[in-house]
Amino acid sequence: MSSASEQGTVREARAKERAAPEGPAPAVNGSRRAAARVAPTRPVWPGAPTPLGARFKAGPDGVAGTNFALWAGGAEAVELCLFDTEGAGVVETRCPLTELTHEIWHGFVPGVRPGQRYGYRVHGRWDPWTGARWNPAKLLLDPYARAVDGDFTLPAEVYGHVRDWPQQHVADTVRDDRDSAPYVPKGVVVHDDAPDDEWADDRRPKTPWADSVIYELHVRGFTKLHPGIPEELRGTYAGLAHPAALEHLVRLGVTAVELMPVHQFAHEDHLLRRGLRNYWGYNSIGYFAPHAAYAASGTAGQQVGEFKRMVRALHEAGIEVILDVVYNHTAEAGELGPTLSLKGIDNRGYYRLQPGDARRYADYTGCGNTLQVVQPHVLRLITDSLRYWVTEMGVDGFRFDLAAALARSFHDVDMLSPFLAVIAQDPVLRRVKLIAEPWDVGSGGYQVGAFPPLWTEWNDRYRGAVRDFWRGALPDVRDLGYRLSGSSDLYAWGGRRPYASVNFVTAHDGFTLRDLVTYERKHNEANGEGNRDGSDDNRSWNCGAEGETDDEGVTALRRRQLRNLMTTLLLSTGVPMFVAGDEMGRTQRGSNNAYCQDNEISWVDWGLRDEPGWRELFALTSRLMELRHRHPVLRRRAFFSGRAHSADGLRDLAWFTPRGTEMTEADWYAPAATLGMYLSGRDIPGRDARGAPVADDSFLAILHAAEQPLDFVLPGPPWARSYEVVVDTALEEQEAPPGTVHRAGATVTVPGRSVLLLRVGHA
């Protein structure tokens, strides 16, 4: 609870507010926005409490209109506000919703059609000390709005409290009674026009997990500079659906795009004050609405159809669509954040508040608030949103940002939590791809390897081991062995499979692949935070010079390291994921936290694809992808056993030292920078679609991270009689397999810092 002195300060503030003469609204961006003229109310029929949101339909006697339904537990009254343009002005019509069913306020308004802009005003107590923050002066976005028209600019008027109150430690307790409607986006009524069978299973790629390769991209950043996309479509859903964008994805060979957040999001106040914007989008405010700024066709509902057409185009190209979703927190931040939607609808119902101090928020996300997923209506909001994106928008899966926060019960992370239990039994959601970012910032939040079956996870243990190996920082190769072979130490329980591990070396958060071998220190000065933001634990190596250089020896080594990292990723058991542009050397100029850089720092530079030195990396990546698709031994659906499956003693997985001998326990613990991994194509678990056994070639991969060349003895029978070189990362050109054949038992020289992949011959 607050102190008596704080409460006294607030009482004085309220007295001054009541005594102060009413003046004009403060200027916003140098000009005042006129308030909407309030029109007489329209007739509101009782309507229905379900479904939630705004649904255009035929009402009683076939009259066309829209049913509105809003869950607002604890509210005293709810007004539906309709906004229409009249001449040069805006007319606001306030319609009280008088029907209340199980805390859902609802009503049917005849004549309201798709394209109608709307919001809510919710009445109730203002008592921040108990978590009550109702303020009818603030127009609120419908949590179920399917389209949003406008942008969040966050002037002082959109805060439920007096944002600029001189005494900031009590500012959140002083109510701001200025109307926010002129300054906030509005929800838009959308026509439900998707055929029931539009997203049927037979129209989706349905790529098995083991066969998947994920490509993380930003809708705007991927398309913004693409010369083959018409300028008016760049940066949009339509741009991503353009044949020029699809051609790159198909040529590369990825099976799924993981779109960085496309839910409607808002920009943070501290960024707007510095002239920056949220680029990544991890600041959601509308869980049903495609982000309006990525639409080329319009924002009065057209963004919904444009998104669907994008998904359809990707599906026709054989590419699945996975959304990066942020259900752990919203853009309303903590007690000093704006009032945009949930905070003004039912702050205590939607958010976790601190036990014993309901004025403050429990923050497991580092973003000011955490959604209270244990509350049934909040859980319903999330699952309704997920089902909507699958059944009506056509997406194929989700990557859950800070998923550990969603798995918390009342405090601790609980793998039997309501959220995980509901997902597991939902007939729609349990069939799509589910990826957890298996951590949050709260106590006990690191949960890599702990999520239940059905879930895959971003495996940062893989990222750390591979980065450390190639920069020469691993003391031995024990951890690398686990990561290359599917991380059985993390996932071989409860029926989980190797594809539970989403393997990655880079992601949006951190250095790009090129920057990983170019910088040892972050360079985030452009963010305006004194380079204090972003991680200091980059596990990078600049190959001898910080930043870009003209030293040909350094640049050649960097390109080789890029080939090593990409080859390691695509030969590892599990699901590989990499970031758009890594396949052609995209750089962020040393920024490892480009979340607010909506410019060339973050956008994909398409000129690299044809630039000498980088086009070879693209060619290698594409060929490795084809190799992976062609060989099931690289896409195993079950963990290796390490046991012999035939009389000759040949095992499905074996590890070799440079002496050509199998590794012993002592070898695993000895300092080493080289590892030989033998993958047997015999007796691969499982059967093909016709029930026949799966058989494949066998391979030997030699990973050598030391600077000096190494003599490696190729294992003899029964492992092989000969070896054909398939990939040699010491070579710049990788257009075709090198094709050199070595006899078993021969000694090959492995160049320093390189990967040699050899196909086994048994004849």
Q: What is the pLDDT of residues 658-687, one digit of tens each?
A: 999 999 999 999 999 999 999 999 878 888
pLDDT in tens, 474-531: 999 999 999 999 999 999 999 999 999 999 999 999 999 999 999 999 999 999 999 9
CA 218/CA 280 separation, integer angstroms? 8
Tell me if residue 117 falls in helix, strand or coil.
Answer: strand
> What pLDDT, on a 0 to 100 scale, did the predictor assign at position 14?
46
The predicted-structure confidence for 423-461, as pLDDT tens digits, reads as follows 999 999 999 999 999 999 999 999 999 999 999 999 999
Q: Looking at residue 199, what is its pLDDT?
A: 78
- For 278-306, write each residue's pLDDT tens digit: 999 999 999 999 999 999 999 999 999 99
- Could you give the 3-state DSSP secondary structure of residue 7? helix
Cβ-based neighbour number of residue 348 at 10 Å: 16
Cite the beta strand spans of 592-650 per DSSP E. Answer: none
pLDDT band for position 193 (cuts 50, 70, 90): low
Structure tokens at 207: 């790529």
> The tokens of 354 are what?
């601190």
Per DSSP, what are the bridge partners of residue 575? 502
Average pLDDT over residues 60-74: 96
pLDDT exceeds 80 at position 141: yes
Q: How confident is the model at residue 310 (pLDDT cuts 50, 70, 90)?
A: very high
Tokens of residue 730, six digits: 């010491």
Is residue 762 very low, low, confident or very high in pLDDT (cuts 50, 70, 90)? confident
Distance of alpha carbon 645 from alpha carbon 31, whole angstroms: 77
Residue 292 exposure: Cα atoms within 13 Å on the Cβ side: 20
* Mean local confidence (pLDDT), 78-96: 94
Residue 17 pLDDT > 80, yes or no?
A: no
Distances 584 to 10, 567, 753 between C-alpha atoms, Å:
58, 14, 20
pLDDT of residue 260: 98
Query: Which tokens in the block code for residue 266?
Result: 């808002």
Q: Express each pLDDT in 556-582 by its tens digit.
A: 999 999 999 999 999 999 999 999 999
* pLDDT above 60 (res 22): no
Question: How confident is the model over 107-134, as pLDDT tens digits?
Answer: 999 999 999 999 999 999 999 999 999 9
**β-strand 77-86 against 117-123: which pairing, if any?**
antiparallel
Average pLDDT for the chain: 93
Q: Quick check: 28 pLDDT over 90?
A: no
The amino acid at residue 269 is D
Name the H helices within 206-318. Answer: 219-223, 237-240, 243-252, 269-273, 302-316
Q: Determine contact, residues 256/213, Cβ cutoff 8 Å.
A: yes
Q: Determine whether 749 is exposed, middle or buried from the number of CB atoms within 10 Å of its CB (0-12, 13-18, 19+).
A: exposed
Instruction: Provide the pLDDT for residue 36.
Output: 74
What is the pLDDT averaged over residues 594-620? 96
Q: Which of 216, 332, 437, 457 is catalytic?
A: 437
pLDDT at 737 over 70: no
Tell me which amino acid residue 166 is: P
- Report whether pLDDT(465) > 80: yes
Q: Is 437 a catalytic residue?
A: yes
Give the H/E segment covering residue 482: helix 478-484
Looking at the predicted structure, is the pLDDT value of residue 763 above 80?
no
Supply the pLDDT for residue 79: 98
What are the structure tokens assigned to 415, written together? 């793998």
Any idea what DSSP says for residue 342? H
- Give 453's contacts (C-beta < 8 A, 6+ positions apart): 494, 495, 496, 500
What are the contacts of 630-633 at 24+ separation with CB within 8 A?
631/681, 631/696, 631/697, 631/699, 632/681, 632/684, 632/694, 632/696, 633/679, 633/680, 633/681, 633/684, 633/696, 633/697, 633/698, 633/699
Quick one: pLDDT at residue 685?
85
- Provide the pLDDT confidence category of residue 201 given band limits of 50, 70 and 90: confident
Q: Which of 216, 401, 616, 667 is catalytic?
A: 401
CB 254 within 8 A of CB 582: no
